[in-house]
Amino acid sequence: MTAADSPADKRLTARGVKTRGRIVAAAADLMYVRGVGATTLDDVLSASGTSKSQLYHHFEGKDALVRAVIDHVGQRVMERERQTLGHVSTLRGLRRWRDTLVQSNALRHGAYGCSLGSLASEVSDYDDLARKALSQLFAEWHKLLADVLRRLQDTGGLPAEMSADQLATGLLAALQGGYMLAQTERDAAPMATSIDMALDHIESLSKL
């Protein structure tokens, strides 16, 4: 069960599922661009074209809606990362992954940051359920990267004694820090540099 699940969710009609999905999608878009704190329920009502009664039928309040947004965004990001990283087993593949993320961020001139990272920075300190949901999502992202590095070890592209988990932590931190720097600079270049430094370090280990 996800952070946004409730018994009522199990009894939704097809129309109810569609309405709930519209509310969550609108809230996710608003919160990504404006931030969680600056997005009001009235904003979500206007953007989703729903009524207060419809919103409160599905969510007790803003905290519940934010948790649903985390699930929605998390599913989207993790599906993208599973597809991108799931079969990567070379440094070249990791660099293609880097290129895809940097190019996507460059289209926004670095604005808004990582959709999951932005949520984590806003809600982790006041909503423990949301924090735990985000922690699980980042743990999955970390595992996807660590699995790539283990496949590198299996093919001899990385020394077996190196900790794939520690390297994955550094790579994920470089990615998230890069998103933040790109956001403040309104330029994806710092993000590219940050990830490149982490990948260059991993590549240097492959030559030991």
Of the candidates 124, 147, 146, 149, the one whose C-alpha atom is nearest the C-alpha of residue 134 is: 124
Give the confidence band of 64 by pLDDT, cuts at 50, 70, 90: very high
Max distance between CA atoms of the chain, in angstroms, equals: 63
Q: Is 168 or 2 the better-scoring residue by pLDDT?
A: 168
Q: Is 13 or 54 the better-scoring residue by pLDDT?
A: 54
For helices 115-123 and 62-85, angle between their N-to-C axes, nearest 10 degrees: 150
For residue 4, is pLDDT > 80? no
What is the C-alpha separation between 111 and 189, in angstroms, rounded?
Answer: 12
What is the C-alpha separation between 202 and 157, in angstroms, rounded?
Answer: 10
Do 27 and 39 touch, CB atoms closer than 8 A?
Answer: yes
147-195 pLDDT per residue, tens: 999 999 999 999 999 999 999 999 999 999 999 999 999 999 999 999 9
pLDDT of res. 46: 97
pLDDT of res. 1: 43
Q: Is 14 or 44 the better-scoring residue by pLDDT?
A: 44
Structure tokens at 25: 């999608």
- Mean pLDDT computed over 59-84: 97
73-118 pLDDT per residue, tens: 999 999 999 999 999 999 999 999 999 999 999 999 999 999 999 9
What is the C-alpha separation between 6 and 126, in angstroms, rounded?
Answer: 20
In sequence order, the 6+-apart residues with CB closer than 8 A to the CB of 103 are 188
pLDDT of res. 8: 46
In the three-class reduction of DSSP (H, G, I as helix; E, B as strand; rest coil), residue 120 is classed as: helix
- Mean pLDDT computed over 49-62: 96
Distances from the Cα of 98 to the Cα of 139, 158, 194, angstroms: 19, 19, 10
Domains of the chain, start order: 7-206 (1.10.357.10)
For residue 5, is pLDDT > 60? no
For residue 45, is pLDDT > 80? yes
In the three-class reduction of DSSP (H, G, I as helix; E, B as strand; rest coil), residue 19 is classed as: helix
127-150 pLDDT per residue, tens: 999 999 999 999 999 999 999 999
SS (H, E, C) 53-111: HHHHHHCCCHHHHHHHHHHHHHHHHHHHHHHHHCCCCCHHHHHHHHHHHHHHHHCCCCC
